[in-house]
Amino acid sequence: MNIKPLGDRVVIKKVEAEETTKSGILLPGSAKEQPQMAEVVAVGPGGVVDGKEITMEVKVGDKVIFSKYAGTEVKFDGEEYTILRQNDILAIVE
Amino acid sequence: MNIKPLGDRVVIKKVEAEETTKSGILLPGSAKEQPQMAEVVAVGPGGVVDGKEITMEVKVGDKVIFSKYAGTEVKFDGEEYTILRQNDILAIVE
Amino acid sequence: MNIKPLGDRVVIKKVEAEETTKSGILLPGSAKEQPQMAEVVAVGPGGVVDGKEITMEVKVGDKVIFSKYAGTEVKFDGEEYTILRQNDILAIVE
Amino acid sequence: MNIKPLGDRVVIKKVEAEETTKSGILLPGSAKEQPQMAEVVAVGPGGVVDGKEITMEVKVGDKVIFSKYAGTEVKFDGEEYTILRQNDILAIVE
Amino acid sequence: MNIKPLGDRVVIKKVEAEETTKSGILLPGSAKEQPQMAEVVAVGPGGVVDGKEITMEVKVGDKVIFSKYAGTEVKFDGEEYTILRQNDILAIVE
Amino acid sequence: MNIKPLGDRVVIKKVEAEETTKSGILLPGSAKEQPQMAEVVAVGPGGVVDGKEITMEVKVGDKVIFSKYAGTEVKFDGEEYTILRQNDILAIVE
Amino acid sequence: MNIKPLGDRVVIKKVEAEETTKSGILLPGSAKEQPQMAEVVAVGPGGVVDGKEITMEVKVGDKVIFSKYAGTEVKFDGEEYTILRQNDILAIVE
């Protein structure tokens, strides 16, 4: 993976409903179109962002829950990713 | 429970009206669809969030009243939870 | 009363028009549906809220005037209360 | 007068057009419904409000011009008052 | 003139198009209804306003250009004035 | 030129499309009505503006690109100028 | 290239879909009208912008992904460029 997010941004890849079920998450019905589970594939350096010191709390490989509609979707090597701010990540699922 | 909320976020589970009555809260009629009572099931680490030092004041097991519509609903292991910021929790009920 | 408001929040109980008249306040006509007088029943600890040091200036028992529509209404033990920020309290009436 | 405004709030009583004319202000026609002249009847303590140190610059008895629609109207002892922030007072008229 | 503006406020009196032409400004056609030239008639003390130290840069007698629609219009001794923040004054014309 | 902009404001004069072409800029078709190229004719002193220290980076004579619709248009000595904040200037063209 | 962006601004040139494919990015269908890949052609000096210290993290020649609709489009020497803030650049692609 050769995308280097800037500042407090994180690149995530949405986890499909099938995989999600394996890890214990059930996304029924209409929610399937808006999966909120993703895996972190790249993490920005953090540091001073908008004048505030940001420490990155997520790392590559983390399974995370993120705000619906947050971030920007990009296509890279035929795969879809989302780039969002760490602040739009709600929780890490272990 | 293996959801680790980030920053000042808190994971809560809404308390049903039946349980609510036991603890002395009465949620009549239309309010039943919007229970504002919940139990805290996971608490973020707090620390510097958006450039401000946040101390977490709630702990796992607290019964809390929270702002209607606040936070994001997620399904996990077949159960529904809400992830919100501590600031959207109005009060602890004892 | 066992509601512990968080941060700079205050729990108030609206004062009925009849009681209001006794204390010298007259709320005529349409204003009766929007009483702005209330008694403080619980006060949060204050401290650092949203990165700002807040000192609580109201105390339990104070009669206060508050912003119409401010805060969140909750039912507790069959009684209706409003939880709002101290900043939504305009004045103390003595 | 026994209203104690909180923080940087000020209680004012609107001056009627007749009195206004005496003090040299003319409020013609439609403006009569929106008098902007008032007398200060109570002044909050100032201090740290929303994290900023506020010094009160108006005092009881000052004639002031204030922003139309600013503040909240309250009735007290049969009289109408407006509670607003000092920042909504534009000028003192001497 | 006995209006004392508070904080960083300034009282200005709009300059009529006729006078404007003398000082070299031409306000053609529809712009005549929205003159942006004015003379400063009173200046607030400045100091800490909204938590920021403000130094007043305009003085009584200055001819200034100000933002259209900025400020509040008041009538005083039969004359119309505008009270605005110094920040709504764009430039001094000499 | 005797307009003295306040704070971080800058007075610019839009450059016509003909001149623009000479300096290498081509503004085709509909863009001609919204020239974004201008020459700086007056620069404010900078300093503390809205509580932030601003250093002026443009100087009289600079050719600049600015945000469409930014600033306020004024007529002076029969010429049209725009007064805007330095922050609305995107780049200097050399 | 003789455009000198001010502050934390960056001048970028959008990368056409053909080139994009070579570097491994696939922009299918409707997305072709909104390429989000660009090459950095000029970088502002950074420094204190809006009161915050900004360090420039991108350099001329970087391939970047940026927020759709961010920035201002300008034509220069017959070529189209976009001027945006570094904060609107999401990631560097290597």
Does residue G3 lie in a domain region?
no
Residue D37 and residue D20 in contact, taking contact as beta carbons nearer than 8 Å: yes
Q: CB-based contact (8 Å) between B86 and chain C?
A: yes
Torsion over CA: C74, C76, C78, C82 (sign): negative
Residue A42 and residue A1 in contact, taking contact as beta carbons nearer than 8 Å: yes
Torsion over CA: D54, D55, D61, D64 (sign): negative
Q: CB-based contact (8 Å) between C55 and chain B?
A: no
Extract the tokens encoding G83: 């001027």
> Among C55, C65, C85, which would you mutate to test the D interface (most chain D Cβ atoms within 10 Å of its Cβ)?
C65
Please report the number of interchain residue pairs, chain C to chain D, with beta-carbon separation below 8 angstroms: 60
Q: What percent of chain E has pLDDT over 90?
A: 49
pLDDT band at G15 (very low <50, low <70, confident <90, very high): confident
**At residue E26, what is the residue type?**
L
Q: Is B83 in Cβ contact with A26 (below 8 Å)? A: no
For E:30-49, CB contacts with D below 8 A are 42, 44, 47-48
Q: CB-based contact (8 Å) between G26 and chain A?
A: yes
| Number of domains chain C contains | 1
Nearest-CA neighbor of C75 among G20, D86, B24, D76?
B24
Torsion over CA: A11, A17, A20, A25 (sign): positive
Does residue F1 lie in a domain region?
no
Specify the long-range contacts of residues D71-77, CB closer than 8 Å, at least 24 apart. Answer: D71/D12, D72/C36, D72/C65, D72/C67, D72/C68, D72/C90, D74/C36, D74/C65, D74/C90, D74/D3, D75/C25, D75/C26, D75/C27, D75/C28, D75/C31, D76/C24, D76/C25, D76/C26, D76/C93, D76/D3, D77/C24, D77/C25, D77/C26
Let me know the angle formed at the C-alpha of B93 by B88 and C2, rounded to the nearest 5 degrees. Answer: 130
E in contact with B (at least 3 C-beta pairs within 8 A): no
G72-76 and G63-66 as β-strands: parallel, antiparallel, unpaired? unpaired
Residue A67 and residue A91 in contact, taking contact as beta carbons nearer than 8 Å: no
Q: What percent of chain A has pLDDT over 70?
A: 78
Does residue E70 lie in a domain region?
yes
Query: For residue B92, which phi and psi values (nearest 5 degrees)?
Result: -100, 135
Extract the tokens encoding D53: 């140190």
Residue C14 and residue C38 in contact, taking contact as beta carbons nearer than 8 Å: yes
Extract the tokens encoding B49: 């969030």
Alpha-carbon distance of G8 to G6, in angstroms, equals: 6
pLDDT band at A1 (very low <50, low <70, confident <90, very high): low
Q: Is the pLDDT of residue B18 over 60?
A: no
Alpha-carbon distance of E37 to D8, in angstroms, equals: 34
Extract the tokens encoding E53: 């130290």
Place of tokens 């502050």: G7
Query: For residue E21, which phi and psi values (nearest 5 degrees)?
Result: -60, -40
Residue G86 and residue F87 in contact, taking contact as beta carbons nearer than 8 Å: no
pLDDT, position F24? 56
The residues with which E40 forms a beta bridge, in sequence order, are E12
Phi-psi region of A33 (alpha: psi -120 to 50; beta: other; left: phi over 0): alpha
Q: Is F51 in Cβ contact with E53 (below 8 Å)? A: yes
**CATH no. for residue C31?**
2.30.33.40
Does residue C68 lie in a domain region?
yes
> Among F10, F43, F58, F90, which would you mutate to test the G interface (most chain G Cβ atoms within 10 Å of its Cβ)?
F90
Residue B74 and residue A36 in contact, taking contact as beta carbons nearer than 8 Å: yes
Q: Is F83 in Cβ contact with E25 (below 8 Å)? A: no
The stretches in chain D having pLDDT less than 70 are 1, 17-35
pLDDT, position C58? 97
Nearest-CA neighbor of B63 among C3, D38, E27?
C3
- pLDDT, one tens digit per residue, over A10-29 is 999 998 754 454 555 554 44
Q: What mean pLDDT value characterizes chain G? A: 82
Query: For residue A33, which phi and psi values (nearest 5 degrees)?
Result: -75, -15
Nearest-CA neighbor of C80 among C9, C16, C6, C5?
C16
Q: What mean pLDDT value characterizes chain B? A: 82
Q: CB-based contact (8 Å) between B92 and chain A?
A: no
Q: What is the mean pLDDT of residues E78-84?
A: 91
Alpha-carbon distance of E75 to E73, in angstroms, equals: 7
Alpha-carbon distance of G50 to A52, in angstroms, equals: 13
Q: CB-based contact (8 Å) between B63 and chain A?
A: no
pLDDT band at G75 (very low <50, low <70, confident <90, very high): confident
pLDDT, position C23? 53
- pLDDT, one tens digit per residue, over G30-65 is 444 455 899 999 999 998 888 888 999 999 999 999
- pLDDT, one tens digit per residue, over E22-36 is 555 554 444 444 458
pLDDT, position C77? 77
Q: Is A86 in Cβ contact with B6 (below 8 Å)? A: yes
Neighbour tally for F21: CB within 10 Å: 11
Query: For residue F21, which phi and psi values (nearest 5 degrees)?
Result: -60, -40
- pLDDT, one tens digit per residue, over C80-90 is 999 999 999 99
Q: Is C26 in Cβ contact with D78 (below 8 Å)? A: yes
Does residue A19 lie in a domain region?
yes
Which chain G residues are Cβ-neighbours of A11 within 8 angstroms? Answer: 91
Place of tokens 């499909």: A16
User: Strand order of the sheet with strand B63-66?
Assistant: B72-76, B79-85, B9-14, B37-43, B63-66, B89-93, C3-5
Residue E52 and residue F44 in contact, taking contact as beta carbons nearer than 8 Å: no
Does residue B23 lie in a domain region?
yes
pLDDT band at C25 (very low <50, low <70, confident <90, very high): low
Q: CB-based contact (8 Å) between E60 and chain D?
A: no
Closest Cβ opposite residue A25 in set B6, B50, B75: B75
- pLDDT, one tens digit per residue, over B39-56 is 999 999 998 888 888 999
Residue B83 and residue B5 in contact, taking contact as beta carbons nearer than 8 Å: yes
Does residue A78 lie in a domain region?
yes
Q: Is the pLDDT of residue C24 over 80?
A: no
pLDDT band at F76 (very low <50, low <70, confident <90, very high): confident
Three-class SS state of C32: helix
Q: What is the mean pLDDT of residues B17-46?
A: 65
Does residue F4 lie in a domain region?
no
Place of tokens 């101290």: C86
**At residue D59, what is the residue type?**
K
The range of the structural domain enclosing residue D56 comes to 9-93
Q: CB-based contact (8 Å) between B8 and chain A?
A: no
pLDDT, position B53? 86
Q: Is the pLDDT of residue B19 over 80?
A: no
- pLDDT, one tens digit per residue, over F11-50 is 999 987 544 445 555 544 444 445 589 999 999 999 888 8
Nearest residue on chain C to B86, alpha-carbon basis: C6
Alpha-carbon distance of A70 to B51, in angstroms, equals: 20
Helix H segments across chain A?
Answer: 17-22
